[in-house]
């Protein structure tokens, strides 16, 4: 028996064994989807060399079924790989918390509050920040649970890869790259302009005169200062994450001290009358409406519109999720840091917005730098320079927070083979992804230097909101789906050993049953499940065997779980996935209706209210039905409370905000995705680590378990906790 290996086009691998006696070739095609599968077929040796058959093999590898397997294959993370990393595990919970605070609480607290108060919400901007914080905490909870489940570098990218599939993971990762590149370039440009403003715009005037750029969508001059600031930060990030963390901690502490100073000093000049202004006290300016005065000068509509804008003030905590391989104890530190940083940021925004609107009338705060302007107007000019120090510190930490996750996203994607592998190389001394850091830094610096980033700034919102949405969907999928093809293993079984799973099955008196020949019905299984609840462990590693087909009554009973089954079954998993999909369709439809009928809703139009109410009722019923399904009860350091309600609310809020973005943003988003798909279909799809992994990568516990029981008769009176044969 001789062995040959043929490498066909598009990196399709075939192992060929030639038998001299019968001249047959045993061709085994290995397609590494979520579960590695092996398909064997036989062809004659002369036929193998035929160009027609070679082309046929290639076409079959590019068939819809093969592509579907490639798109849906999921990342498997074994126990022994959880703590294995080439990066430096040196970040504490304190470091992670201040990384989140620094990247979120940037220049916005000194500028954003006054602009929203003046144009959108008035003094009720504090409530806008409260509502936005509630919406943000939904996404933060989802990120925190995944940080406890999958403590790996990659944030939403790796979460979606483990849960949904490769194609969606690439889409999210590619959009995160866009988010961090544009976000960092925007902050670098703002940093440059803020420093230039301290010197009376000297740099801008000189470069506009000597090196003008007269190209649409580009900057009016090359901003070398922004490019230099970005390169300086890149060098800082490349020499070690601990040194960067120390710099971030110092700047964040100074920023928070300035915020505390502004709140305490400003409280001495607080005047409640600024929340009770009458319509007569509001100035009348042509083509400018300042509302009706009082605490809600723009009404409830203004509060909600302000909340939509305030929501972006909380963006940044997700950078904590990219530190899974650099945190000392990621499964505990990441959830704590995400929630803690968001609470600190909310306290800062809420207190500053309250004091700022009490100190000075809301309509007079639409200036370039509202917070120092307010202190100057009330007779505290020295506060302007104190706030300037805080603003520079806030800009520094925002720049670091935007730049820090970018090379780590590139590192995670390159390590999985979805983008070019050389980006995954790390420095043996600094323990940082050096090449990815320098390339991302140079590219971001060029963006900040040449482009008018203000026109592109809204593009980063699409990437962020899409990531938030998918993470919420992933939480629902993980809670209610059972991977029957992996019984008794789960792709997220990262905290339990294989032996413990085997002992768990032995304790429950498991047996093996081929469901295709089983005469045990679904009703029997549900009744037996109730009897064995004391011995069955409900987790993603266990599930009840069931028949291939279900009656309408079985399905209807399972939709609302009328028999109160607490153990996940194949039927409950299927019903849950269908319900989650239907809820997603209703949420998308409801968000579209809310955007289209927004004016009618505020005018309480009966037709608009009825349309919204119908879809809202369907979503409520579907969510209650999902809540009735048995779910994964695995113990984690943090789990999202009130599932499925919080993830559903998070999906609703995030998609609504995506629909509020301008049409031009969606067009640029499409162009960016086209470029990404060229990379994925031309390189990543064929070089994916999950595609090229060996067939025996996954433990053979199922096969071993089947062999041990192959000689035993199936006893229908034993526990119905069974291994499903694939």
Interval 570-593: pLDDT, tens:
899 999 999 999 999 999 999 999
Question: 140: how many CB neighbours lie within 10 A of its CB?
Answer: 28
Examine the pLDDT at 158 and tell me if it is beyond 70.
yes
Task: Tell me the CB-side half-sphere exposure of residue 302, using CA atoms within 13 A.
Answer: 23
Most confident of 69-73, 295-299, 706-710: 295-299
Examine the pLDDT at 648 and tell me if it is beyond 90.
yes
Phi, psi of 465, rounded to the nearest 5 degrees = -65, -35
Q: By three-state DSSP, how is residue 225 classified? A: helix
Amino acid 478: pLDDT: 86
Q: Which among 563, 422, 474 has a CA at the least distance from the CA of 155?
A: 474
Task: Flag the least confident range among 357-366, 449-458, 532-541, 609-618.
Answer: 532-541
Amino acid 350: pLDDT: 95
Examine the pLDDT at 546 and tell me if it is beyond 60.
no
| Helix, strand, coil percentages in the chain from 3-state DSSP, rounded to 5 | 65, 5, 30
Asked if 147 and 324 count as a contact pair (C-beta separation under 8 A), the reply is yes
Q: How far is CA 316 from CA 24, 231, 559, in A?
A: 59, 21, 38
Amino acid 544: pLDDT: 42
Q: By three-state DSSP, how is residue 271 classified? A: coil
Examine the pLDDT at 665 and tell me if it is beyond 60.
yes
Question: 277: how many CB neighbours lie within 10 A of its CB?
Answer: 21
Give the span between the Cα atoms of 157 and 169, in whole angstroms. 5
Q: Which band of pLDDT confidence, cut at 50, 70 and 90, is reported for residue 650?
A: very high
Amino acid 306: pLDDT: 87
Q: Which residue has the higher pLDDT, 530 or 612?
A: 612
Q: Which residue has the higher pLDDT, 57 or 95?
A: 95
Amino acid 457: pLDDT: 64
DSSP string, 658-670: HHTS-HHHHHHHH
Alpha helices in 198-218 (DSSP H): 202-210
Amino acid 718: pLDDT: 35
Give the span between the Cα atoms of 554 and 467, in whole angstroms. 36
Q: Report the alpha-carbon angle 101-106-108, nearest 5.
A: 125
Burial of 141 (0-12, 13-18, 19+ CB in 10 A): buried
Q: What tokens appear for 257 in the block?
A: 């001290």
Mean pLDDT of 294-323: 86
Mean pLDDT of 176-200: 83
Q: What tokens appear for 255 in the block?
A: 């920023």
Amino acid 466: pLDDT: 84
Q: Which band of pLDDT confidence, cut at 50, 70 and 90, is reported for residue 470?
A: confident
Mean pLDDT of 630-637: 84
Question: 518: how many CB neighbours lie within 10 A of its CB?
Answer: 17
Give the span between the Cα atoms of 601 and 618, in whole angstroms. 19
Q: Which band of pLDDT confidence, cut at 50, 70 and 90, is reported for residue 308?
A: confident
Examine the pLDDT at 442 and tell me if it is beyond 80.
yes
**Is beta strand 2-7 parallel, antiparallel or unpaired with respect to 13-18?**
antiparallel
Q: What tokens appear for 709 in the block?
A: 């029981």
pLDDT digits (tens, 9 = 90+) for 93-135: 999 999 999 988 876 787 788 888 998 899 999 999 999 898 8
Q: Which among 257, 394, 398 has a CA at the least distance from the CA of 317?
A: 398
Phi, psi of 578, rounded to the nearest 5 degrees = -65, -45
Judge if the upstream peptide bond of residue 488 is cis by omega within 30 degrees of 0.
Answer: yes
Query: Where are the extended beta strands (E) located within 660-723?
Result: 722-723
Mean pLDDT of 151-159: 80
Amino acid 63: pLDDT: 67
Examine the pLDDT at 264 and tell me if it is beyond 90.
yes
Mean pLDDT of 445-450: 88
Mean pLDDT of 451-480: 80
Q: How far is CA 106 from CA 255, 396, 710, in A?
A: 8, 8, 64
Q: Which residue has the higher pLDDT, 125 or 184?
A: 125
Examine the pLDDT at 662 and tell me if it is beyond 90.
no
Mean pLDDT of 450-460: 69
């Amino acid at each position: 028996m001789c062995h040959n290996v043929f490498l066909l086009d598009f990196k399709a691998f075939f192992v060929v064994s030639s038998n001299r006696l019968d001249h047959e070739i045993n061709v085994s095609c290995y397609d590494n989807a979520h579960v590695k599968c092996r398909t064997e077929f036989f062809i004659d040796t002369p036929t193998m060399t035929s160009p027609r058959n070679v082309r046929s093999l290639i076409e079959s590898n590019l068939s819809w079924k093969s592509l579907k397997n490639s798109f849906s294959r999921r990342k498997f993370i074994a126990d022994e790989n959880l703590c294995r990393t080439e990066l430096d595990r040196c970040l504490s919970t304190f470091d992670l918390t201040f990384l989140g605070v620094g990247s979120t609480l940037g220049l916005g607290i000194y500028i954003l509050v006054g602009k929203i108060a003046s144009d959108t919400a008035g003094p009720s901007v504090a409530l806008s920040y409260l509502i936005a914080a509630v919406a943000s905490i939904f996404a933060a909870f989802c990120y925190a649970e995944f940080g406890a489940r999958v403590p790996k570098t990659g944030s939403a990218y790796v979460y979606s890869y483990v849960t949904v599939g490769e194609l969606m993971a690439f889409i999210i990762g590619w959009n995160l790259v866009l988010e961090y590149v544009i976000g960092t370039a925007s902050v670098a440009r703002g940093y440059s302009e803020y420093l230039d403003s301290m010197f009376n715009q000297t740099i801008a005037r000189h470069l506009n005169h000597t090196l003008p750029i007269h190209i649409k969508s580009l900057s009016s001059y090359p901003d070398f200062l922004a490019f230099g600031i970005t390169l300086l930060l890149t060098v800082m990030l490349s020499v070690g994450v601990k040194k960067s963390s120390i710099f971030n901690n110092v700047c964040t502490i100074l920023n928070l001290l300035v915020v505390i100073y502004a709140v305490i000093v400003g409280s001495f000049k607080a005047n409640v009358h600024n929340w009770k202004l009458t319509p007569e006290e509001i100035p009348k300016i042509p083509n400018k409406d300042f509302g009706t005065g009082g605490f809600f000068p723009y009404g409830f509509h203004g509060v909600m519109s302000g909340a939509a804008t305030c929501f972006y003030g909380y963006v940044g905590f997700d950078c904590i999720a990219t530190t899974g391989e650099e945190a000392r104890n990621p499964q505990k530190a990441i959830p704590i840091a995400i929630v803690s940083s968001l609470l600190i940021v909310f306290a800062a925004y809420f207190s500053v917005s309250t004091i700022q609107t009490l100190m000075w009338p809301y309509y007079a705060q639409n200036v370039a730098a509202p917070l120092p302007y307010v202190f100057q107007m009330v007779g505290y000019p020295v506060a302007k320079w104190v706030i300037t120090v805080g603003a520079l510190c806030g800009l520094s930490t925002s720049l670091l927070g935007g730049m820090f996750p970018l090379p780590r996203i590139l590192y995670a994607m390159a390590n999985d083979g979805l983008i070019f592998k050389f980006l995954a190389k790390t420095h043996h001394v600094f323990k940082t992804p050096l090449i990815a850091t320098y390339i991302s830094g140079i590219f971001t610096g060029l963006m900040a230097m040449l482009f008018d980033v203000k026109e592109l700034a809204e593009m980063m919102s699409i990437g962020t909101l899409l990531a938030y949405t998918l993470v919420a969907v992933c939480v629902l999928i993980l809670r209610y789906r059972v991977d029957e093809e992996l019984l008794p293993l789960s792709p997220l079984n990262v905290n339990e050993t294989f032996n413990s799973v085997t002992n768990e099955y032995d304790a429950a008196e498991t047996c093996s049953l081929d469901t295709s020949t089983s005469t045990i019905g679904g009703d029997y299984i549900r009744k037996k499940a109730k009897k064995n609840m004391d011995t069955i462990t409900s987790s993603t590693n266990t599930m009840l065997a069931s028949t291939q087909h279900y009656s309408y009554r079985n399905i209807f009973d399972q939709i609302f779980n009328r028999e109160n089954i607490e153990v996940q079954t194949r039927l409950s998993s299927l019903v849950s996935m269908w319900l989650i999909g239907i809820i997603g369709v209703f949420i998308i439809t409801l968000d579209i209706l809310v955007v289209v009928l927004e004016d009618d809703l505020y005018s309480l139009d009966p037709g608009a209210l009825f349309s919204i109410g119908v879809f809202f009722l369907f979503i409520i019923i579907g969510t209650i039905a999902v809540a009735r399904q048995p779910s994964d009860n695995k113990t984690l350091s943090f789990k999202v409370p009130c599932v499925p309600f919080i993830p559903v609310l998070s999906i609703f809020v995030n998609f609504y905000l995506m629909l509020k973005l301008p049409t031009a943003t969606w067009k640029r988003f499409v162009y960016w995705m086209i470029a990404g798909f060229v990379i994925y279909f031309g390189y990543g799809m064929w070089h994916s680590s999950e595609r090229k992994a060996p067939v025996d990568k996954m433990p053979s516990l199922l096969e071993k378990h089947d062999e041990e029981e192959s000689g035993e008769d199936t006893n229908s009176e034993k526990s119905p906790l069974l291994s499903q044969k694939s």
